[in-house]
Amino acid sequence: MQISYNWLSSYIDIPYDPEKLKHFLTMAGLEVEEMSYQGQGLEKIITGEITEVSDHSNADNLKVCQVSLGEEERQMVCGAPNVAENMKVAVALPGTTLPGGLKIEETELRGVKSSGMICSADELGLKEERQPGIMELPEEIQPGQPLVKVLMLDDYLYKLDLTPNYARCLGHLGVAREVRGLSDTDLEINWPDLLPERGRDYQESAVEVEIEDPDLCQRYTCRLIEDVEIKPSPLWMQRHLEAAGVRPINNIVDITNYVMLEYNQPLHAFDYDKISGSKIIVRRADSGEELITLDDEIRELTPEVLVIADQDKPIGLAGVMGGANTEVTETTEKVLLEAASFDAVNIRRTAKKYGISSESSHRFERKIDITAVAEASRRACYLLEKYAGGKIAEKLVDCYPEPFRKREIMLDAARANAHLGVEITGEKMADMLSGLGFEAEMQEGSRIAVRIPGFRRDVDGDADLVEEIARVYGYNNIPYTRPASAEPGGRTSEQKAGLKINRILRGQGLEEVKNFSLRSEEDGLTEQLEDYYHDHLALGDDGDGGGDYGGGDCCLEDYIVGLKNPLSRAFSRMRISLLPGLLEVLSLNSRKQIEEMAIYESGRVFGSRGEGRRPVEIDKIGLASMGAARDPWNLSAPDFFYLKGAMENLLKGLEIKDWNWRRIQLDIFHPGRAAELKFDERSVGVLGELHPDIIEDYKLPARASLAEMDGESLYRWAGYEEISYRGIPRYPSISRDLALLVAEDIPARDIIEAVSGAADDILADVDIFDFYRGEQIPEGRKSLALNMVFRDEERTLKEVEVEERIAGIIEVLEDKFEVQIRGK
Amino acid sequence: MNIEETINEVKQEFQEMFAEAQDSESLEEIRIRFLGKNGRVKKLYGRMGSIPEESKPVLGRELNKLKQEISKKLKDRQDKLEEEKKKKQLEEEKIDVTLPGSKIKTGSQHPLSLVTEELEDIFISMGFKIAEGPEIEDEYYNFKALNIPEDHPARDLQDTLYLDDIYLLRTHTSPVQVRTMEKTQPPIKIIAPGRVYRADELDASHSPVFHQLEGLVVDEQITFGDLKGTISIMVEEIFGENHSVRFRPSYFPFTEPSAEVDVSCIVCQGEGCSLCSRTGWLEIMGSGMVHPEVLRMSGIDPKDYSGFAFGMGIDRITLLKYGIDDIRLLQENDRRFLQQFK
């Protein structure tokens, strides 16, 4: 909705200048999205009168004009074919810039001085298409006037972003009521002139109205206007319509639009001669019926749709759009003017069904003032008589089966004050409400009986009235207070763990990323997760603590949650894993010559559990790395081991005790470089170097690696207890290294487990600190260097005890893995 | 040659040799020559037996003096040489201290989670707890329980992405209000940050996936003034003290009265610029007193309790706070962008 300052001024003496009105409206809840000046760019153009036209001595197609500008006269050279003496024209003086950007300057045209330019309508931006000549202004105007005044363009426009509860302000009178109710000044509204109801001898109308579905049409009025003459509407009306963003068409259409923009009452004019018979039926359409609407679209009708029909056929989509078959045209003589009230929900559905959003449907959807239907009709009739030569001989036909009854709402002033945190007397509140058009009456105690007028159908209960009190009082006048807190705020253990996870990962040098949870139908990656989904993608559980796995009876395609109404293919389904997004982030950065990057994401993924069941939402932590520098074991796997280290530090940080890694194979990973993370027997994550084919496809540096962990499992297994401090060991420890040769395929983890098992009473720690293959190492074997730390909490260990344990350890290793101790 | 002469000779010889000795090796050589087992001084002691008794004390002193003198001189010079050597070594170990430090990887926090955590901390300090809810919702929680009936124009305010006939992607974090009220009796004081979805095309200022932070307070005698006080503290904490806040009437089906919260423009401070569309104000959140119908539907009697709620776009606040001009940067994850948020 766009309103005009001048138009609004015709109903109320606005106590604000244009800029202040903008602020006032916004603070009243009628947010001004944009304010503009209608004569933008024409402020400096003035009117002139051509007093003399003579030929240009050096150019056949140019004329030299003397132009009177009231107080002075100037010479201007003009090339327009229609230039003539005594013509009233628009003049741009030197120093003026035209809306198109042309700067007018004092100049000479072929040797003749020209101090100004006589403008055409397109040069002034008043017409889009190129005009053949200069713009001719009405004869009666005086020279030397600002053009914006003469053309009635001296107006400010306000584009309002109205929320649904401000539907009453979809007409200027509604805005005028707000100004009256909310401004500090005592103001009255000048109501528009209406067709007199009495004092004329109206006949009973020949037109008959039948409402077949009174639940969908609560009131239908119409009136016959004869002998209309179709012509342009007066300039002021055209300007007002333009100011409101409505294109003028002809006097009949313009008047219906004009009254709609005054009263917020949509009106429709039928060409009466095109109606069969004299009966208007408001009914549901029959299946199979069709109607060509005013936009020339054929609409196939169904019984959910309410139509206006004559005895033979539908002639309009009720409240949405008229029919082409009864359209007012140049030759129309008799107009049947409809003013009605239709059911908001039905109109909304019809408009949606046909994809029409008309000025009319927009208003009916938001409920109009059913009590003002006849008044709006009379207003239009007044204008039709005055500006279309219409003859009105018949009474209004008003079919209004159940007249509106004002609701009464009891407002408790004490409660309103308690709600807002203010102290306003009941009398003052009643005053405030009356100013807005409510009928408010003080009752016993602090109660106010409030009757709700027809134009306030947004008001359902006392809470709405409290808002009105707050609006009039001024939101910004309500004092600032703060609610008391009985309990301290804080995070739950899980929320704290979530923060800790982020902190630990950042501490390892990983950068946090955020990817959309909506993905493309053809991302090229999700499909490659079929085996991941079947074997490792843990589904969330319903809270029984168990959790089950993906796979089983359903295939990946069925597991993916798709959107029913995606905006585009790019965002058409929910992610099932963080891996594809992380891979894309690496790829994007790699393409930008960023060679080294380590990232993580903490987010939700989704999975279907079958039709009609709520899809699962699972928290995941994903990690990815490319271009890591340190390759700890010289295995060309820096990214793999970087991520593994980060994950292990995360597990330690969360005080998770029993985890282990197992070799796995997945399509997206290098077949020999992928592992699964397990808590006991539960799979809680995967880690792997990307398959070389994917690395190539996505232009990634070699060895880039990805990992994903199940967030819920981390939360569940994390030790939430406070850090439990243990004293620093009081007795010295003894450290020993052991270098061994062992068959290549024996996992390091097995060696460590065997060592731990062989000396667990005093072995405090065992770790692998070196790994080597190659020169000096026999084919098929590898060299591992172990460091073992022995300690007893109670006493100082003797060398001989340690030597004994080491002998035992060696025996076990030789026995189990046929290791060969180096340097022995 | 008598012994006195020999002593003087030894002394003389030592002095000559000592004067030449400039390194540890020569010093050691001298030490052996004079003080060693068969050294000259030792030999002189050996000759002590053959001199007259009366001369012995004098010569003995003389000899001791010589021995001490030689030792001391040798030691002093040895110490000096050591000192010089150490000094030289330290000098050689000089490094260019202006070379860059080790490349230790530093992680970063995504600006959205940075701002979310900051907001959470502000509200926690005011006694709020953090609630969570699903991103996949149904009609009831996303609309109906929030007083947004079907076929109401309010539904146009949000373009919803549906999964099927029952489930949809939540269009706001407000369903968490309902879920919280259903399972908790007042007093309630929660915030609920989370991801929300709308059918918006992705451009510089719109995104189909974004984040909101919802707040809800329900207790006896909660007022609109409490809402204003709580929000103004949050704005002050996030944007700094020199920003003003204003509340203006608006409409949300689940609050009444409803208010839009504006903060004075962070770029122009109210003068009017392109960021604030020349209004001087930036819209940052919706808020209001919880609609009595919403309380009732969630099992809380509006006669006994009142409350306020608010909801803000975390993405928007992030963009404003850091002066980022394109929302797409928040999901592009360009390292050069991410690295700025530590």
Q: Whole-prediction pTM value?
A: 0.85
- Select the more confidently predicted residue: B47 or A150: A150
Using pLDDT thresholds of 50, 70 and 90, give the confidence band for residue A474.
very high
Contact between residue A161 and residue A35 where contact means Cβ atoms under 8 Å apart: no
Scanning B121-150 for CB atoms below 8 A from A yields 123-130, 134-136, 138
User: In terms of CA atoms, which chain A residue is nearest residue B292?
Assistant: A463
The model's pLDDT over A382-401, given as tens digits with 9 standing for 90+, comes to 999 999 999 999 999 999 99
Tell me the CA distances in angstroms from A636 to A590, A641, A697, one per residue in order: 19, 10, 20
The number of distinct structural domains making up chain B is 2
Question: Who among B125, B130, B259 is closest to A475 (CB)?
Answer: B259
pLDDT at A272 over 60: yes
Tell me the CA distances in angstroms from B100 to A305, A782, B107, one per residue in order: 77, 38, 19
* CB contact (8 A) between residue A31 and residue B248: yes
User: CA A448 to CA A433: how far, in whole Å?
Assistant: 10
Question: Who among B113, B123, B249 is closest to A502 (CB)?
Answer: B113
Mutate to test the interface with A, among B113, B123, B163, B283 (most CBs of A within 10 A): B163
Whether B134 and B237 map to the same domain: the answer is yes
CA distance A302 to chain B (A): 19
Chain mean position to CA B186: 37
Chain A interface includes B289 (CB < 8 A) = yes
* CB contact (8 A) between residue B249 and residue A489: no
Write the CB contacts of A296 (distance below 8 Å, at least 6 apart in sequence).
A324
User: CA B206 to CA B330: how far, in whole Å?
Assistant: 11
Contact between residue A649 and residue A510 where contact means Cβ atoms under 8 Å apart: no
> With contacts defined as CB-CB under 8 Å, which chain B residues touch A25?
none
| b/e map A54-64, b = 16+ CB within 10 Å | eebeeeeebbb
User: In terms of CA atoms, which chain A residue is nearest residue B294?
Assistant: A463
Fold of A408-477: Phenylalanyl-tRNA Synthetase; Chain B, domain 1 (3.30.56)
Tokens 């991410």 found at: B338
Number of Cβ within 10 Å of residue A256's Cβ equals: 26
Tell me the CA distances in angstroms from A48 to A115, A123, A145, A713, one per residue in order: 13, 16, 8, 84
Could you give the dihedral angle defined by the CA atoms of residues A503, A508, A514 and A520, in that order, rounded to the nearest 10 degrees?
A: -140
User: CA A770 to CA A634: how far, in whole Å?
Assistant: 10
3-state secondary structure of A584: helix
Q: In this predicted structure, what is the pLDDT of residue A538?
A: 55
User: CA A250 to CA A387: how far, in whole Å?
Assistant: 10
> Which of B138, B133, B149, B247 has its CA nearest to residue B191?
B133
**β-bridge partners, A685:** A677, A709
CA distance A188 to chain B (A): 24
* CB contact (8 A) between residue B223 and residue A420: yes
Domain boundary among B92, B127, B155: B92
User: In terms of CA atoms, which chain A residue is nearest residue B230?
Assistant: A482
3-state secondary structure of A425: coil
Helices A462-473, A172-182: inter-axial angle, 10-degree rounding: 70
Query: Is B97 a domain residue?
Result: no
Contact between residue A160 and residue A30 where contact means Cβ atoms under 8 Å apart: yes
* CB contact (8 A) between residue A565 and residue B117: no
* CB contact (8 A) between residue B251 and residue A164: yes
Peptide bond into B193 cis (omega under 30): no
Write the CB contacts of B94 (distance below 8 Å, at least 6 apart in sequence).
none
Region(s) of chain A under CATH 3.50.40.10: 208-399
**DSSP strands (E only) in A82-202:** 88-92, 107-109, 112-114, 117-118, 156-161
> With contacts defined as CB-CB under 8 Å, which chain B residues touch A475?
224, 246-249, 257, 259
Cα-based angle B128, B130, B131 (whole degrees, multiple of 5): 125
Which tokens belong to A657?
């005790």
Measured in residues, chain A has a length of 824
> With contacts defined as CB-CB under 8 Å, which chain A residues touch B222?
483
User: CA B233 to CA B34: how far, in whole Å?
Assistant: 89
Domain boundary among B59, B92, B125: B92
The model's pLDDT over B215-268, given as tens digits with 9 standing for 90+, comes to 999 999 999 999 999 999 999 999 888 888 999 999 999 999 999 999 998 888
What DSSP character marks residue A12?
Answer: S
Mutate to test the interface with B, among A513, A560, A606, A639 (most CBs of B within 10 A): A513
User: Could you tell me the CATH number of the domain that includes residue B316?
Assistant: 3.30.930.10
Alpha-helix residue ranges (DSSP H) falling in chain B: 3-20, 24-35, 40-46, 56-92, 111-125, 139-142, 175-183, 224-239, 292-297, 314-322, 329-332, 335-338
Position A796: which residue type? T
Question: Who among A471, A513, A566 is closest to B249 (CB)?
Answer: A471
Bridge pairing between strands B188-197 and B129-130:
parallel
Whether B196 and B330 map to the same domain: the answer is yes
* CB contact (8 A) between residue A514 and residue B257: no
Using pLDDT thresholds of 50, 70 and 90, give the confidence band for residue A706.
very high
* CB contact (8 A) between residue B249 and residue A28: yes
Whether B195 and B287 map to the same domain: the answer is yes
Write the CB contacts of B199 (distance below 8 Å, at least 6 apart in sequence).
A565, A567, B159, B160, B161, B208
CA distance B114 to chain A (A): 10
> With contacts defined as CB-CB under 8 Å, which chain A residues touch B127?
485, 487-489
Chain A interface includes B219 (CB < 8 A) = yes
Tokens 């053959």 found at: B50
Average pLDDT of chain A to the nearest whole number: 91
3-state secondary structure of A11: coil
Question: Who among A166, A563, A592 is closest to B162 (CB)?
Answer: A563
* CB contact (8 A) between residue B105 and residue A508: yes
| pLDDT, average across residues A305-312 | 96
Bridge pairing between strands A208-211 and A112-114:
unpaired
User: CA B338 to CA B342: how far, in whole Å?
Assistant: 8
Scanning B259-288 for CB atoms below 8 A from A yields 259-260, 277, 279
Percent of chain B with pLDDT over 90: 63
* CB contact (8 A) between residue A518 and residue B209: yes
Q: In this predicted structure, what is the pLDDT of residue A547?
A: 43
Tokens 């407002």 found at: A411
> With contacts defined as CB-CB under 8 Å, which chain B residues touch A345?
151
User: In terms of CA atoms, which chain B residue is nearest residue A642?
Assistant: B105
Query: Which residue range forms the structural domain that includes residue B79?
Result: 3-92
CA distance A793 to chain B (A): 36
* CB contact (8 A) between residue A562 and residue B250: no
Q: Does the ipTM exceed 0.90?
A: no
Fold of A208-399: Phenylalanyl-tRNA Synthetase; Chain B, domain 3 (3.50.40)
Query: Is B116 a domain residue?
Result: yes
User: In terms of CA atoms, which chain A residue is nearest residue B190?
Assistant: A489
* CB contact (8 A) between residue B187 and residue A517: no
Region(s) of chain A under CATH 3.30.70.380: 734-821
CA end-to-end span of chain A? 93
Average pLDDT of chain B to the nearest whole number: 91
Query: Is B103 a domain residue?
Result: no
* CB contact (8 A) between residue B292 and residue A421: no
> Which of A487, A422, A384, A494 has its CA nearest to residue A714?
A494
Could you give the dihedral angle defined by the CA atoms of residues A53, A57, A61 and A64, in that order, rounded to the nearest 10 degrees?
A: -30
Write the CB contacts of A160 (distance below 8 Å, at least 6 apart in sequence).
A1, A2, A3, A25, A30, A31, A32, A33, A169
* CB contact (8 A) between residue B225 and residue A479: yes
* CB contact (8 A) between residue A487 and residue B127: yes
User: In terms of CA atoms, which chain B residue is nearest residue A514?
Assistant: B331
Fold of A2-38+155-182: Phenylalanyl-tRNA Synthetase; Chain B, domain 1 (3.30.56)
Which architecture, in CATH terms, is A46-150? Answer: Beta Barrel (2.40)
| pLDDT, average across residues A593-605 | 95
> With contacts defined as CB-CB under 8 Å, which chain A residues touch B208?
516, 518, 567, 571
| pLDDT, average across residues A98-117 | 88
Whether B321 and B213 map to the same domain: the answer is yes
* CB contact (8 A) between residue A606 and residue B136: yes
* CB contact (8 A) between residue B249 and residue A29: yes
CA distance B129 to chain A (A): 5
**DSSP strands (E only) in A502-549:** 511-512, 518-519
Query: Is B145 a domain residue?
Result: yes
The model's pLDDT over B100-138, given as tens digits with 9 standing for 90+, comes to 998 888 899 999 999 999 999 999 999 999 999 999 999
Question: Who among B209, B229, B334 is closest to A481 (CB)?
Answer: B229
Region(s) of chain A under CATH 3.30.930.10: 493-717
Question: Who among A489, A564, A629 is closest to B162 (CB)?
Answer: A564
* CB contact (8 A) between residue A486 and residue B250: no
CATH 3.30.70.380 for domain A734-821: yes
Peptide bond into A729 cis (omega under 30): no
Whether B84 and B128 map to the same domain: the answer is no
CATH 3.30.930.10 for domain A493-717: yes
Whether B77 and B18 map to the same domain: the answer is yes
Whether B194 and B283 map to the same domain: the answer is yes
> Which of A54, A52, A92 has its CA nearest to residue A68?
A52
Mutate to test the interface with A, among B103, B104, B106, B110 (most CBs of A within 10 A): B110
* CB contact (8 A) between residue B248 and residue A26: yes
Region(s) of chain A under CATH 3.30.56.10: 2-38+155-182, 408-477
Chain mean position to CA A342: 29
| b/e map A275-296, b = 16+ CB within 10 Å | beeeebbbbbbeeebebebbee
Q: In this predicted structure, what is the pLDDT of residue B1?
A: 61
Scanning B177-216 for CB atoms below 8 A from A yields 187, 189, 195, 197, 199-202, 208-209
Query: Is B99 a domain residue?
Result: no
| pLDDT, average across residues A798-812 | 90
The model's pLDDT over A137-164, given as tens digits with 9 standing for 90+, comes to 988 889 999 999 988 899 999 999 999 8
Tell me the CA distances in angstroms from A805 to A118, A671, A785, A813, one per residue in order: 110, 39, 17, 12
Conformational region of residue B93, where left means phi above 0, alpha means psi within -120 to 50, and beta covers everything else: alpha
Q: In this predicted structure, what is the pLDDT of residue A540?
A: 45
CA distance A63 to chain B (A): 45
Whether B125 and B66 map to the same domain: the answer is no
Cα-based angle A415, A421, A427 (whole degrees, multiple of 5): 55
Query: Is B107 a domain residue?
Result: no
Helices A426-435, A413-420: inter-axial angle, 10-degree rounding: 90
CA end-to-end span of chain B? 89
Using pLDDT thresholds of 50, 70 and 90, give the confidence band for residue A412.
very high
Using pLDDT thresholds of 50, 70 and 90, give the confidence band for residue A721.
low
Percent of chain A with pLDDT over 90: 72
Range from A404-418, A482-496, B301-315 carrying the lowest mean pLDDT: A482-496
Q: In this predicted structure, what is the pLDDT of residue A553?
A: 55
Contact between residue B123 and residue B186 where contact means Cβ atoms under 8 Å apart: no
> With contacts defined as CB-CB under 8 Å, which chain A residues touch B226?
421, 481-483
Phi, psi of A314 (to 5 degrees): -70, 140
Position B184: which residue type? T
> Which of A476, A161, A491 has its CA nearest to residue B231?
A476
